[in-house]
């Protein structure tokens, strides 16, 4: 006698791996990125923004202070919004072999997401909470709002 799977007990055709529902491959170029590379890319971008803010405020990174912290956040936002929107990746993404692509329906494009998507995505990342709330395709609220996904190069 053949046994039938109970609903909700295993992968379905709709969700077999992160990115399946978006038409992305399971592994290799174009597949959804894991958390390790994404976090490393974020830390690299934050460090670069800190170095730029340090040059702007003429204060060392470790000095802190309101003017430095604001400068670092504004620099991070501008760098992320512009680079993600127009090029499809920040410096951290490039170093980690990642890119941000737009999702259109159930397909993804290879073109950059556009400046508006970059601004939406970066603004929500700066708020932090949307970046830590995510779905089965590893898309945070910032990616869902901007209609993007982070994939391997």
d(CA 100, CA 144): 12
Condensed to tens digits (0 to 9), the pLDDT of residues 99-123 reads 999 997 666 667 899 999 999 999 9
> Is the Cβ–Cβ distance between 91 and 44 less than 8 Å?
yes
Condensed to tens digits (0 to 9), the pLDDT of residues 53-100 reads 999 888 887 777 777 889 999 999 999 999 999 999 999 999 999 999
Q: Of residues 125 and 9, which shows the higher confidence score?
A: 125
**Has residue 11 got a pLDDT over 60?**
no
Q: Which residues of 52-87 are buried (b: 16+ CB within 10 A; e: fewer)?
A: bbbeebeeeeeeeeeebeebbeebbbebbbebbbeb
**Has residue 40 got a pLDDT over 80?**
yes
């Amino acid at each position: 006698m053949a046994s039938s799977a109970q609903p909700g007990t295993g992968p379905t055709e709709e969700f077999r791996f992160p990115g399946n529902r978006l038409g992305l491959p399971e592994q290799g170029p174009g597949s959804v990125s894991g958390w390790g590379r994404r976090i490393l890319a974020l830390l690299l971008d934050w460090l670069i923004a800190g170095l730029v803010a340090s040059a702007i405020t003429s204060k060392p990174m470790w000095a802190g202070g309101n003017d430095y912290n604001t400068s670092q956040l504004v620099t991070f936002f501008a760098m992320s919004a512009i680079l993600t929107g127009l090029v499809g990746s920040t410096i951290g993404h490039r170093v980690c072999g990642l890119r941000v692509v737009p999702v259109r329906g159930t397909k993804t494009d290879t073109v950059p997401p556009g400046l508006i998507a970059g601004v939406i995505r970066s603004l929500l990342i700066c708020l932090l909470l949307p970046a830590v709330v995510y779905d089965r395709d590893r898309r945070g609220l910032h990616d869902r709002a901007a209609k993007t996904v982070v994939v391997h190069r």
